[in-house]
Amino acid sequence: MKIGIRTPSPKKSLKAMTTGKVKRAAKKSIIPGYGKKGTGLLKDPKKATYNKVYNKTTKSIFDIFK
């Protein structure tokens, strides 16, 4: 488990920015519960717990400048 500052990934940042509103809207209309808060814990509890701890113990380099 990493503790400290996360290293930014330009490739992943670009992918996150270009995944569009249309794609999210389509998934929301097809998959019940898509994008709802807390559904990650029901779907994959181990991953949800890991992500919660990871996001609390690390900070982005962009958070430092806020």
pLDDT at 42: 87
1 occurs within a structural domain: no
DSSP H or E segment with residue 39 = helix 39-43
In the chain, the amino acid numbered 41 is L
Range of the domain at 54: 38-66
Return the DSSP state at 37: T
pLDDT tens digits, one per residue of 3-46: 888 888 999 888 888 888 888 889 999 988 888 888 888 889 99
Structural domains of the chain, count: 1
pTM of the model: 0.66
57 occurs within a structural domain: yes
pLDDT at 49: 94
pLDDT tens digits, one per residue of 42-64: 889 999 999 999 999 999 888 88
DSSP H or E segment with residue 59 = strand 58-59
11 occurs within a structural domain: no
